[in-house]
Amino acid sequence: MSQSVIQINNLYKQYKNTETFVVKGVSLAIAQKEIFGLLGPNGAGKTTLLSMMCGLLKPTSGKISILDKSYSDQKTEIHQNIGVVPQEYALYPTLTARENIAYFAGMYGLKGKDLDQKTNQTLERLGLLEFADKKIGTFSGGMKRRINLIAGVLHNPKILFLDEPTVGVDVQSKNVIIEYLQELNRSGTTIIYTSHHLSEAEHFCTKIAIIDRGEIFACDTPKNLIQNTENVSNLEDVFISLTGKQLRDDV
Amino acid sequence: MMMYKLWQSVKKEMLLLSRDWGGLVILFVMPLVLVITVTLIQDSSFKAVSTRIEIAFVDNDKGEISKTIVDNLSKSESFVLVSVNEQELQHLVFKGKYQMGIVIPENLSSDLQNRVNHNVEKAISAFGLGDDSNTEENHFSTKEIKLYFDPATHVSFKSGVQNAIDKIVTQIENQSIYKAFQEQLSEENSFFEQESLIVFEEILPTTNSEEPKPNSVQHNIAAWTLFAMFFIVVPLSVNMVKEKNQGTYVRLLTSPVSHLVFLGGKIITYLIICLLQFYVMLFIGKFIFPYFGLIALEWTNLGLLTVVALFSGLAAIGFGVLLGTYAETQEQSAPFGATSVIILAALGGVWVPVFAMPEIMQGFAKISPMNWGLNAFYDVLLRQGGLSDVLTDIILLFLFFAATLTISIIYDKKKRAV
């Protein structure tokens, strides 16, 4: 693998008026063209860590460097080069698919023929071209997920952050999404991804970090993680062996 | 590039609004219905009422005074006197059949005349001019004109009628005094000039030698246009809360666009809406009101009116952005927005003029942006004021906009830095 595009050193996060740290001393180096899976049970600190990587939250201490830049002084430059696909359908339901895409891509400076061409190509690739001028509010969950993805990638980000991009979608939509993400990765995009679908992550990711109670317990390729854990045959077994079987309900 | 992003934001806001029929009704239809309804109702406060009010009347006097009261009230074209007996009168008024009843006591005219004659004779003899055999002390008991009011009658109506009757009686008394003096002095009728020396002339601000008459249309267009503009607080704050809950705001926070561009799109869009509301209201006032029998709205300085509308709109938008930033749910923003606008309108003098408010509320009115806007509109529409007259108010409106926007940005930044 080549040089790191994300470098995290000794990162801590404690929310105001709380006593516990939700992220505790995390250090990570994510290489270019990696498909990096961030896996962990509910409340493990995945979303907080991802939010800090996207510049949505400020760390309590520690350092995050994205493409050798820091959020403290080069936020706009970093944001120009990353794409974020939130877990929610972050779309306007009364706007059409094309209007949503045009607006979000416009925020990255895409316009004119270039925008139209890219929009049509991506919509066609994800099987949505014929629905381009329909309102998002009328779309199924799988269709919304795909538009949600397009809105985050049309500007060709160098790093793409995805928070559970396949949650609640049918198998067909999931396959299209995963295949498309692999295409993006082949063309040079580094992907950071969280999911609860462990078998999907096992086959999709080139590297996986298992996080629990704010700490990284293991970080390696899926193959190495399985090989280096005793009495396991797949990633789910590794996950259970590292994080335990107890429920993680929390309010 | 920033301008392009701003344009994209404005375009998006316009699209969102154009597909929100409920929001459009709140922004355009409701204010129109409101301004037409309220103006039609309030129009009667500014001109003679077209429907006559029936007053129950008992005349136990049958003399000069009761005749004059009947003549004067009938002449006003506002009242119709209905003769009833005294027992009926009380019952009918208290049951709400008539808004008021008047009972003229027995011998009112003759007793008044006797008292006047007695006093005049005393005065004449005090000057040594007359016969003092008739000037012994006489006691005249007080006469009561009984006024009955329906308990639901408005206080201002009560005092208006009381004053009118009091004026009629005073006039009759004065005329009787003059008449008695004339008789005592054996002079002809023309001896005393009985025309009022003091008359009232209403002087109004003039432009181009034309004298505009203040009317309900000018008052209501100004007040309800402002009210409608401030009502954008509801759709604007709901729009912002929706963006937070949908996740679109998070997506924007991770894109290379400044918070000011995001807010700028909303400010420009809603400012255009405010100005559209304003021009639609002017159009309604000028061209539609006459179809309802109302006076057509007249203005002389559309440019300055637009400036006032622009700054009022900015103040309303600032408040909407502040509410949209603080509120977490639509259930918080919509009712709070609507209620707060109604309170601001009440404080600002939209319903009750500020001078008629209790002192403490007049103090609150001074810090209400709607009051600044209303004052500025009145300065231009009714007082024929210029830019210098509205400058203080529009500066205050702009400061309110700047303050609310700054607080919103600081609060949002702080909230995201948890």
Give first-to-last CA distance, chain A, whole Å: 40
Please give the structure tokens belonging to residue B27.
Answer: 């922004």
Q: What is the CATH number of the domain that holds B83?
A: 3.40.190
Please tell me if residue B414 touches chain A, with a CB cutoff of 8 Å.
Answer: no
- pLDDT, tens only, B73-121: 887 777 888 889 888 888 888 888 888 889 998 888 888 888 888 888 8
3-state class (DSSP) for residue A160: strand
Please give the structure tokens belonging to residue B402.
Answer: 């700047």
Is residue B210 domain-resident?
Answer: no
Is residue B229 domain-resident?
Answer: yes
Q: Mark whether B242 and B365 lie in a shared domain.
A: yes
Q: What is the pLDDT of residue B187?
A: 60
Residue B48 has pLDDT above 50, yes or no: no
The ipTM assigned to this model is: 0.89
Q: Mark whether B349 and B259 lie in a shared domain.
A: yes
Q: Mark whether B143 and B246 lie in a shared domain.
A: no
Q: Which domains does chain A have, with CATH numbers?
A: 4-243 (3.40.50.300)
Q: What is the pLDDT of residue A6?
A: 95
Q: Which of B157, B191, B225 is the last residue of a domain?
A: B191
Is residue B76 domain-resident?
Answer: yes
Q: Which of B158, B191, B224 is the last residue of a domain?
A: B191
For B413, the enclosing helix (H) or strand (E) is helix B387-416
Q: What is the number of structural domains in chain B?
A: 2
Nearest Cα neighbor of A93 from A153, A134, A124 is A134
Q: Which residue of A has its CA nearest to B6?
A: A107
Rounded to an integer, the average pLDDT of B129-138 is: 60
Chain B residue numbers touching A164 (CB-CB < 8 A): none
Chain B residue numbers touching A22 (CB-CB < 8 A): none
Q: Mark whether B86 and B9 lie in a shared domain.
A: no
Is residue B172 domain-resident?
Answer: yes
Q: Mark whether B106 and B246 lie in a shared domain.
A: no
- pLDDT, tens only, B235-258: 999 999 999 998 899 999 999 998
- pLDDT, tens only, B299-357: 888 999 999 999 999 999 999 999 999 999 989 998 999 999 999 988 888 877 777 77
Residues B254, A55: C-beta atoms closer than 8 Å: yes
Q: Which candidate from B15, B19, B254 shows the least CB-CB separation from A84?
A: B254
Rounded to an integer, the average pLDDT of B262-283 is: 94
Q: How far is B264 from chain A (nearest CA, A)?
A: 13
Please provide the average confidence, as pLDDT, over all residues in chain A.
Answer: 90
Q: Mark whether B390 and B254 lie in a shared domain.
A: yes
Q: Which candidate from B256, B417, B418 shows the least CB-CB separation from A79?
A: B256
Residues B416, A107: C-beta atoms closer than 8 Å: no
Range of the structural domain that residue B37 is part of: 2-46+215-416
Rounded to an integer, the average pLDDT of A148-165 is: 94
Please tell me if residue B16 touches chain A, with a CB cutoff of 8 Å.
Answer: yes
Q: Mark whether B77 and B35 lie in a shared domain.
A: no
Q: Which residue of A has its CA nearest to B258?
A: A76
Rounded to an integer, the average pLDDT of A143-158 is: 94
Measured in degrees and rounded to the nearest 5, phi and psi for residue B409 equal -65, -45
Rounded to an integer, the average pLDDT of B128-143 is: 66
Q: Mark whether B235 and B115 lie in a shared domain.
A: no
B44 pLDDT tier (thresholds 50, 70, 90): low
Choose from A173-187, B289-303, B404-418 the range with maximum mean pLDDT.
A173-187
DSSP string, B315-333: HHHHHHHHHHHH-SSHHHH
Question: B178-214 burial string, b = 16+ CB within 10 Å, else e?
Answer: bbbbbebeeeeeeeeeeeeeeeeeeeeeeeeeeebee
Rounded to an integer, the average pLDDT of B171-178 is: 82
Q: Strand locations in A164-249, DSSP E?
A: 190-194, 207-212, 215-220
Is residue B93 domain-resident?
Answer: yes
DSSP string, B164-228: HHHHHHHHHHHHHHHHHHHHHTT--GGGS--S-S---------BTTB-PPP-HHHHHHHHHHHHH
Q: Mark whether B221 and B115 lie in a shared domain.
A: no
- pLDDT, tens only, B58-77: 999 888 888 888 888 887 77
Tallying the residues shown for chain A, one arrives at 251
Chain B residue numbers touching A138 (CB-CB < 8 A): none
Please tell me if residue B276 touches chain A, with a CB cutoff of 8 Å.
Answer: no
CA torsion, points A158, A96, B328, B20, in degrees to nearest 10?
A: 160
Q: Mark whether B270 and B385 lie in a shared domain.
A: yes
Cα(B67)–Cα(B357) distance, rounded to whole angstroms?
39
- pLDDT, tens only, A12-49: 999 888 888 999 999 999 999 999 999 988 888 898 99
Q: How far is A78 from chain B (nearest CA, A)?
A: 8
Cα(B341)–Cα(B229) distance, rounded to whole angstroms?
10
Q: Mark whether B345 and B229 lie in a shared domain.
A: yes
Chain B residue numbers touching A106 (CB-CB < 8 A): 4-5, 8
Please tell me if residue B2 touches chain A, with a CB cutoff of 8 Å.
Answer: no
The residue that leads in pLDDT, A154 or B139, is A154
Q: What is the pLDDT of residue B126?
A: 78
Please give the structure tokens belonging to residue A108.
Answer: 């990255």
Radius of gyration of chain A (CA): 18
B193 pLDDT tier (thresholds 50, 70, 90): low
Within 10 angstroms of residue B299's Cβ, the number of other Cβ atoms is: 15
Q: State the burial class of residue B16 (Cβ atoms within 10 Å of its Cβ: 0-12, 13-18, 19+).
A: buried
**B-interface mutation test, from A16, A87, A107, A110, most B Cβ less than 10 A away:** A107
Radius of gyration of chain B (CA): 31
- pLDDT, tens only, A138-148: 999 999 999 99
Cα(A91)–Cα(A104) distance, rounded to whole angstroms?
9
Chain A residue numbers touching B251 (CB-CB < 8 A): 84, 86, 90, 104, 151-152
Chain B residue numbers touching A90 (CB-CB < 8 A): 246-248, 250-251
Task: Name the DSSP letter for residue B27.
Answer: I
Measured in degrees and rounded to the nearest 5, phi and psi for residue A83 equal -125, 145
Cα(B370)–Cα(B391) distance, rounded to whole angstroms?
15
Is residue B206 domain-resident?
Answer: no
Q: How far is A57 from chain B (nearest CA, A)?
A: 6
Is residue B207 domain-resident?
Answer: no
Q: What is the pLDDT of residue B2?
A: 84
Please provide the average confidence, as pLDDT, over all residues in chain B.
Answer: 84
Distance of CA B173 to the CA centre of its chain: 36
Q: What is the pLDDT of residue B130?
A: 61
| Per-residue CA distances from B144 to B111, B114, B119 (Å) | 12, 16, 20
Rounded to an integer, the average pLDDT of B200-226 is: 69
Question: A155-183 burial string, b = 16+ CB within 10 Å, else e?
Answer: bebbbbbbbbbbeebeeebbebbbebbee
Distance of CA B164 to the CA centre of its chain: 22
Within 10 angstroms of residue B28's Cβ, the number of other Cβ atoms is: 16
Q: What is the pLDDT of residue B164?
A: 79
The residue that leads in pLDDT, B145 or A237, is B145
Is residue B334 domain-resident?
Answer: yes
Q: Mark whether B242 and B346 lie in a shared domain.
A: yes
Q: What is the pLDDT of residue B49?
A: 47
Please give the structure tokens belonging to residue B167.
Answer: 């004026």
Nearest Cα neighbor of B203 from B21, B384, B412, B401 is B384
A225 pLDDT tier (thresholds 50, 70, 90): confident
Measured in degrees and rounded to the nearest 5, phi and psi for residue A217 equal -90, -35
